[in-house]
């Protein structure tokens, strides 16, 4: 697949992630939002790149830039530097996580582990992101369902990490 089609799929994923988030009010879109990125990853693997981490990082970056921009633009009402920093740092860290997963996916492991690895990497990213000085819980996947608590009553047991695992 051509690079521009992969970039468009990545942007589509970012749009789906962004429109799933509050205040747009379409949280169940999140269950489909990563699918275009998974297609990007599969297409990149067919090309047998010598730098799979870098390819995964670069082609997922547009998705996470779009998602972060659609959901954290409001910080710009306080400071432009703050919104640019939040969007850039968060997007780079998310792309780093996706790039690591894509790198592992390029190794000869059974395909059944791909989903497990993605969930593990993403939940590890969220855990680290919650436990450092620049914590930013706004875009943790489990927080998405804050607008519809009747669907996530089990959060009292699992917390938002249970929601991330569910997604």
The DSSP line for 152-163 is -TTHHHH-HHHH
The tokens for 76 are: 């710009």
In this predicted model, what pLDDT tens digit does every residue of 128-139 receive, in sequence order? 888 887 777 777
Among 73, 66, 88, smallest CA distance to 17 is for 66
The tokens for 141 are: 């996947």
Q: What is the pTM of this model?
A: 0.89
The tokens for 125 are: 């990213």
Among 90, 89, 10, smallest CA distance to 42 is for 10
Residue with the two structure tokens 């968060």: 90
In this predicted model, what pLDDT tens digit does every residue of 5-24 receive, in sequence order? 999 999 999 999 999 887 76
């Amino acid at each position: 697949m051509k690079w521009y089609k992969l970039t468009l799929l990545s942007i589509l994923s970012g749009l789906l992630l962004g429109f799933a988030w509050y205040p747009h009010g379409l949280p169940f879109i999140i269950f489909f939002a990563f699918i275009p990125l998974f297609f990007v990853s599969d297409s990149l693997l067919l090309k047998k790149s010598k730098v799979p981490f870098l390819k995964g990082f670069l082609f997922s970056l547009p998705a996470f830039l779009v998602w972060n921009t659609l959901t954290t633009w409001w910080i710009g009402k306080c400071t432009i530097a703050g919104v640019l920093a939040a969007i850039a740092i968060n997007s780079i860290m998310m792309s780093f996580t996706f790039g690591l997963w894509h790198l592992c996916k390029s190794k000869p492991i059974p395909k059944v582990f791909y989903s497990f690895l993605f969930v593990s990497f993403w939940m590890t990213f969220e855990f680290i992101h919650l436990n450092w000085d620049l914590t930013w819980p706004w875009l943790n996947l489990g927080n998405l369902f804050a607008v519809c608590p009747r669907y996530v009553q089990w959060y009292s047991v699992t917390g938002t990490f249970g929601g991330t695992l569910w997604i």
